[in-house]
Amino acid sequence: MLKHSVVLLFASVFLAQSASELRFSLRADPKTFHPLEVEDEASETIRYLTGGVLIRLNRSTQQIEGELASKWKVSENGRRIDFELRPKIAFSDGTPFTCEDVVYTLTQLMDPALHSPVGDGFRSTPGPLDAKCTGPSAVMARFPGPVAALAAQFDSVAMLSAHSPRKEAAVLGPFEVADYKPGSYVLLRRNPNYWKRDAAGKSLPYLDSIRLEIQQNRELELLRFRRGELDIVNKLDPEMYERLSSEMPHSVVDAGPSLDWEVVFLNELASSPLADYKRRWFRSEEFRRAISDAIHRDDLVRVVYRGHARAAVGPVSIANRFWLNAGLKPPVYSAASALDLLERQGFHRSGNSLFDRDGHKVEFSMITNAGNKLHERMLALIQQDLGQLGIQLNVVTLDFPSLIERISRSFDYESVLMAFTNIGLDPSDQMNVWLSSAANHQWNPNQKTPDTPWEAEIDRLMRAQAAAQEPGKRKAYFDKVQAIVADKAPMLFLVNPNVLSAVSPNVKNVAPATLRPQIYWNAERLYISGSLVSQR
Amino acid sequence: MNRTQKAALIVLAMVALAALAAGLLAPSYSQQFRDSISAPPSSRFPLGTDDLGRDRLARLLYGTRVSVLLAPAAALLSTLLAGLIGGTAGYLGGRWERIVTAAIDLFLSLPWLFLLLAIRALLPLNTSPVASVTITFLLLGCLGWASPARIIRAGTRSLANSDFLLQARAAGTPSARLIWRHLLPNLRPMLAAQFWLSIPVFILSEANLGLLGLGISEPLPSWGALLRELENYSAVLQNPWMLAPAVLLVAVVSCLQLLLRTEDRTPC
Amino acid sequence: MLTRVLLRQARRLLIVLLLGGLLGATLVRLGSGFGVDERELDPRLSPDTRAAIHAEHATENNIVIFYAHYLAGLARGDLGFSRSLNRPISKLLAERLPVSLESLAYGVLGGVALGLGLALLTVWWRVPGADLAPAVLSGLCLAVPAAVLALVFLWIGASGRWAIALIVFPHVYRYSKNVLAAMRQSPHVPAAEARGLSPARVFWAHVFTPAAPQLAAIAGLAVSLAFGASIPIEVICDTPGVGQLAWRAALDRDLPLLVIITMLIALMTLVANSLADLALAAWAPASDAF
């Protein structure tokens, strides 16, 4: 009798529908629900939660895994990829997923009129795509030119249905868009046809829905989290983290250094509207290294980031385990060595000020984006640090469009403090930063020919790593790039901020990662405690 | 001057003296004591330190200099412009008043933020913080006249149609004398009210402009920049001494209000 | 007479709207950061994509041509497309205007009620120090940033939009008090008191009523102030109104959106001020303002 009751109890437990909803916020309205047109963070969040991809980057292990594709093979030096698709998968509206959908999606992706960062990652060379079904569930795609880390690029490509009447609203991810109230929220509900199951055979996702509140104000977001109205705050600044950790210690997560950089660069453009003597300073690698040595990175970490950051080594964060050149160390703070470097270049101190060999007082400005408290604080610290050398640093905060205009169009700036967000692990994502001819070679962009021998060498090494397929070879090339950057200091890498989040203790199966999206990367396996796991 | 106004005057004088003597009372507003960040009040730091280890009292005193000098200057400029334009429109009436009123309404609608951005872009990046903030407050003064001009226009028109002014006009009083002896004295309370109302508005405007890079640049402090810290409300709850700039500003604004209070010969 | 006044106001409205749109567009065009796009900093973009991004702004470079096209579209009922939010502007406004009107109602009604109410009390209740508490309260509201006021309301669980009322109130209080106090000092008031009229009748018939036209002028100011205050309050409280839209448009230099918002602000300012002027005209029909 007792056995019966227990069995019945468990049966009812397992057969009951759960009513669990995860709530967190988006910083802005999504600009698009079309997965291939995603350019902003809010749209990317929705794409991640609703899109089904052939290959996924596991944010925890940093290794790629098959999703909709059970197998794949890259050949022809990174031009061709063949997929074997998982059988019996359907879109959210029941339309079967076939190789034709893959061909359709890739054709859309490679349309020159699309103009998206996702598509651009595959367009290393102009030309048409050759994609076709090679079997009932096999598909081949040949790109016009080699694509570095070709398989990993598919992590961002959500499959579209070629046949569904719902078009891009038919999805293969764990959730689908159920409702959208502009300015207010986006509601995602579980995809009833999601293909994935857990180890016990239960269908995923565990959650019934995800509610994404549109919330720009971080103080409000934190207030709502404290009140239990939100389950996750995906990005906390260090001050909020400290506050929350004293009130709700079990709710805060420090996942360690992110892939992002905080960096300073000086204007080295030969044609910039700067005074000649200033241009000479900025184009001197000894001057740049002196500035780098004079900045107290440990204080930036301790004072601005409250310990939740790491002094940066170079263009690769310590979080990027494979690609980091482990032989490099962060610059050590030393005002003495900085002064020594400057004196060897003919600079000298007189009173509290530093002068160059021609008697010009060393004074320049550093701009950053206004409203960013971390940057404003960093600038105040850097100002004091450089003041120790007798350098007068004028701090200027600008609204973001004005800042972009100065560093990308008019080049009317002297130095900049900026944050760089790295989405992926692969150095090929940074090609346009390191190639001297590229627009994002921020300190001296769009060079017709490399301005310096070391930039020419970086060009050669970056192209070599993009063309090579073997990971070890690619790493060797990129290690050399990192070493040159550390030596010549075109960019002064300051810190890699940590990934700081808040998660309600009610949310289970959270495995914080340093790669975006840090907390909900495994959304299909998250559940709310006290809710029941549903079973189909 | 009654007792309350005398007390208000003493408070204002003390604030002004403290601001002038900032160099003696607190030597440096920019020095970072990096081992004492966000420290509570102590004998060394009577108002504690901020999140960069800077003496809050020093920053408050030096910020008082900036705000107490520049915000009233901007308020004076905007009040004078409002008085001139609104007063003239209300006095002359007719078509001239209609044109000016339409111009005021147009002026109020425009996104002047972009003018401020354009002017900031024209200024050299190495403009000193003092010059940059002076220009910002001057611009605020030049742009802040429109709302009060409307009120002054209405007040002037009401006065212009009043019996005593009609009587003076009928008696052959010249226009200049009418304005100087009869109109202005009666407009003074309105102008004074506008003046003291504008001061905290300009202080806070400077703080809000900081969000767009148009405020005071480091390391120079201002009340506006200090007040922005209050947005971090839970930090304020834990560190109530952060309210010092707000308390000081409220005290100054209330004292000004009491001191410049009109009129009213009644006990009120 | 009223028809003439209304026609005149309508003509003024149209001229100010058209001029306002053009001048607003010109200011945006002249402001730094126009035509740049945050996407330019994305290192993944190809040169073709960059060129396409630049081309998106090409139609806005000549402000006169842009405005002419914009007005032509406006005449057809097309309010344009917001590049920053990727949605038709008509839909954005349809969603957000009711929210902002609600914010305005909070601000104007709350601010006027509090300001005028305290002013009436202060002038009516003639005891020493009667204006001290309102003076300190209005000083507090003026001194504390809008963001902080809004956060306080949110923290106690109320709508952050009440902060708009607190921003409007000091201005309304101060001017109402001055107007009423000045009227109280008019010679006819002691004359009315000497005739034995009750304090209430003296106040309402001889202080408040004659002051009403000037008080009506403050209503226009209250609407302008409330609308100006609604922008930061909506941004801080994440209220999806026109104020938040204006802020986004300004940050993104979204020209079509900024033009229509400028016109909307002009319209609201003009309507509020025109109503105040009409009230003034009704009270002082001999005025040659019209």
Q: Give residue A356's identity as a one-letter amino acid code.
A: D
| Cβ proximity of A262 and A495 under 8 Å | yes
DSSP state of A158: B
Using alpha carbons, list the distances in angstroms from residue B55 to A83, A143, A247, B26: 63, 61, 27, 8
Q: Is the CB of residue A429 less than 8 Å away from at least one CB of chain B? A: no
The pLDDT tens digits of the residues spanning C118-169 come to 888 888 777 666 777 887 788 788 777 777 788 888 888 888 888 999 988 8
Residue B217 to residue B123: CA distance in whole angstroms: 13
Q: Do C36 and A409 touch (CB under 8 A)?
A: yes
Q: Do B218 and A303 touch (CB under 8 A)?
A: no
pLDDT: is B154 or A153 the higher one?
Answer: A153
DSSP state of B34: T
Per DSSP bridges, beta strands A21-26 and A209-214 are parallel
Give yes or no for residue C49 having a pLDDT over 50: yes
Residue numbers of chain A with a pLDDT score lower than 70 = 1-19, 531-536
Chain B residues with beta carbon closer than 8 angstroms to that of C32:
117-118, 120-121
Q: Give residue B180's identity as a one-letter amino acid code.
A: W
Size of interface A-B (CB pairs under 8 A): 77
Helix (H/G/I), strand (E/B), else coil: B224: helix
Confidence of residue C282 (pLDDT cuts 50, 70, 90): low
Residue A534's pLDDT is 40
Interacting residues of A68 by C-beta distance below 8 A, sequence separation 6+: A52, A53, A54, A85, A86, A89, A97, A159, A172, A195
Q: Which two tokens stand for residue A192?
A: 């009833």
- Chain C residue with CA closest to B114: the answer is C31
Give yes or no for residue B211 having a pLDDT over 70: no
Q: Is the CB of residue A405 less than 8 Å away from at least one CB of chain C? A: yes
Q: Is the CB of residue A401 less than 8 Å away from at least one CB of chain C? A: yes
Chain A residues with beta carbon closer than 8 angstroms to that of B231:
219
- In the predicted model, what is the mean pLDDT of chain B? 84
Q: Is the CB of residue B217 less than 8 Å away from at least one CB of chain A? A: yes
Q: Which two tokens stand for residue C63?
A: 């402000």
Q: Is the CB of residue B193 less than 8 Å away from at least one CB of chain C? A: yes
Instruction: Kindly state the helix (H) or strand (E) to which residue B103 belongs, with its residue range.
Output: helix B94-109
Residue A217's pLDDT is 87
Q: Is the CB of residue B105 less than 8 Å away from at least one CB of chain C? A: yes
Q: Among the listed ranges B244-248, C85-89, C224-228, which one has the minimum average pLDDT value?
A: C224-228
Q: Is the CB of residue B123 less than 8 Å away from at least one CB of chain A? A: no
Q: Give residue A467's identity as a one-letter amino acid code.
A: A
CA A460 centroid distance within chain:
25
Q: Do C178 and B262 touch (CB under 8 A)?
A: yes
CA C189 centroid distance within chain:
35
Which residue has tokens 């602000």? C265
Give yes or no for residue C250 having a pLDDT over 90: no
Burial class (CB in 10 A: 0-12, 13-18, 19+), C30: middle
Q: Is the CB of residue A243 less than 8 Å away from at least one CB of chain B? A: yes
Q: Do B268 and C126 touch (CB under 8 A)?
A: yes
Q: Do B106 and C20 touch (CB under 8 A)?
A: yes
Residue B98's pLDDT is 85
Q: Is the CB of residue C257 less than 8 Å away from at least one CB of chain A? A: no
Where would I find the H helices in A405-506? Answer: 431-434, 453-467, 471-488
Residue A406 has φ and ψ, to the nearest 5°, of -70, -40
How far is A309 from chain B, CA to nearest CA, in Å? Answer: 16
Burial class (CB in 10 A: 0-12, 13-18, 19+), B166: exposed
Maximum C-alpha span of chain C: 88
Nearest by CB to residue C250, choosing from B98, B113, B154, is: B113
Helix (H/G/I), strand (E/B), else coil: C144: coil
| Cβ proximity of B152 and B87 under 8 Å | yes
CA end-to-end distance (rounded Å), chain B: 13
- The predicted model scores a pTM of 0.89
Q: Is the CB of residue A29 less than 8 Å away from at least one CB of chain C? A: yes
Residue A407 to residue A442: CA distance in whole angstroms: 7
Residue A283 to residue A265: CA distance in whole angstroms: 11
Give pairs for C65-74: CB < 8 Å, separation 24+.
C66/C25, C66/C255, C67/C21, C67/C22, C67/C25, C67/C259, C70/C21, C70/C25, C70/C256, C70/C259, C71/C18, C71/C21
What DSSP string describes C167-183? HHHHHHHHHHHHHHHHH
Q: Is the CB of residue A219 less than 8 Å away from at least one CB of chain B? A: yes
Residue C154's pLDDT is 83
Closest to A19 (Cα-Cα) out of A140, A147, A189: A189
For chain C, what's the residue count? Answer: 290
Q: Do A440 and C41 touch (CB under 8 A)?
A: yes
Q: Give residue C93's identity as a one-letter amino acid code.
A: L
Residue A343 to residue A411: CA distance in whole angstroms: 29
Per DSSP bridges, beta strands A232-233 and A491-503 are antiparallel
Chain B residues with beta carbon closer than 8 angstroms to that of C19:
106
Q: Do C40 and A439 touch (CB under 8 A)?
A: yes
Interacting residues of C285 by C-beta distance below 8 A, sequence separation 6+: none
Chain C residues with beta carbon closer than 8 angstroms to that of A431:
43
Q: Do A384 and B30 touch (CB under 8 A)?
A: yes
Side-chain-side CA neighbours of C76 within 13 Å: the count stands at 7
Residue A17's pLDDT is 33
For chain A, what's the residue count? Answer: 536
Residue C286's pLDDT is 42
For chain B, what's the residue count? Answer: 268
Residue A157 to residue A72: CA distance in whole angstroms: 15
| Cβ proximity of A318 and A496 under 8 Å | yes
Residue A370 to residue A352: CA distance in whole angstroms: 29
Q: Is the CB of residue A363 less than 8 Å away from at least one CB of chain B? A: yes
**Tally of CB atoms within 10 A around A176:** 23
Chain A residues with beta carbon closer than 8 angstroms to that of C237:
217, 220
A neighbour chains, 3+ CB pairs within 8 Å: B, C
Chain C residues with beta carbon closer than 8 angstroms to that of B261:
131
Q: Which two tokens stand for residue B126?
A: 């190495």
Chain C residues with beta carbon closer than 8 angstroms to that of A440:
41-43
Q: Is the CB of residue B234 less than 8 Å away from at least one CB of chain A? A: yes
Q: Do C42 and A219 touch (CB under 8 A)?
A: no
How far is B95 from chain A, CA to nearest CA, in Å? Answer: 42
Q: Do B111 and C262 touch (CB under 8 A)?
A: yes
pLDDT: is B160 or A310 the higher one?
Answer: A310
Confidence of residue C58 (pLDDT cuts 50, 70, 90): confident
pLDDT: is C71 or B267 the higher one?
Answer: C71
Residue A52 to residue A67: CA distance in whole angstroms: 8
Size of interface B-C (CB pairs under 8 A): 189
Residue C10 to residue A464: CA distance in whole angstroms: 69
Q: Do B150 and C220 touch (CB under 8 A)?
A: yes
How far is C182 from chain B, CA to nearest CA, in Å? Answer: 7
Taking only residues 110 to 129 of chain A, the set having a beta carbon closer than 8 angstroms to any beta carbon of chain C reads 112, 115-117, 120-121, 123
Chain C residues with beta carbon closer than 8 angstroms to that of A112:
48
Residue A380 to residue A482: CA distance in whole angstroms: 28
Q: Please name each of the domains of chain C with its CATH number.
A: 2-32+91-289 (1.10.3720.10)
Residue A533's pLDDT is 45
The pLDDT tens digits of the residues spanning C105-117 come to 988 999 999 998 8
Residue C280's pLDDT is 64
The whole-number average pLDDT for the span B78-91 is 91
Nearest by CB to residue C221, choosing from B102, B109, B151, is: B151
Q: Which two tokens stand for residue B37?
A: 């960040």
Give yes or no for residue B262 having a pLDDT over 60: no
pLDDT: is A201 or B3 the higher one?
Answer: A201
Size of interface A-C (CB pairs under 8 A): 100
Which residue has tokens 């839909």? C91
Chain A residues with beta carbon closer than 8 angstroms to that of C52:
115
- Torsion sign, CA atoms C41, C44, C47, C52: negative
- Chain C residue with CA closest to A217: the answer is C236
Chain C residues with beta carbon closer than 8 angstroms to that of A39:
39, 42
Q: Among the listed ranges B220-224, C22-26, C65-69, which one has the minimum average pLDDT value?
A: B220-224
The whole-number average pLDDT for the span C38-47 is 88
Residue B196 to residue B260: CA distance in whole angstroms: 8
Q: Is the CB of residue B114 less than 8 Å away from at least one CB of chain C? A: yes
Taking only residues 9 to 48 of chain C, the set having a beta carbon closer than 8 angstroms to any beta carbon of chain A reads 32-48
Give yes or no for residue C261 having a pLDDT over 60: yes
Closest to C147 (Cα-Cα) out of A62, A180, B232, A117: B232
Q: Which residues pair with A257 in a beta bridge?
A: A498
Residue A416's pLDDT is 97
C neighbour chains, 3+ CB pairs within 8 Å: A, B
- Chain C residue with CA closest to A432: the answer is C43
Using alpha carbons, list the distances in angstroms from residue A82 to A72, A122, A130, A140, A141: 5, 15, 12, 4, 6
The pLDDT tens digits of the residues spanning A383-406 come to 999 999 999 999 999 889 999 999
Taking only residues 101 to 160 of chain C, the set having a beta carbon closer than 8 angstroms to any beta carbon of chain A reads 151, 154-155
Q: Do C36 and A184 touch (CB under 8 A)?
A: no
Nearest by CB to residue C213, choosing from B147, B158, B253, is: B158
Nearest by CB to residue A401, choosing from C36, C45, C92, is: C36
Q: Which two tokens stand for residue C132?
A: 């001290």
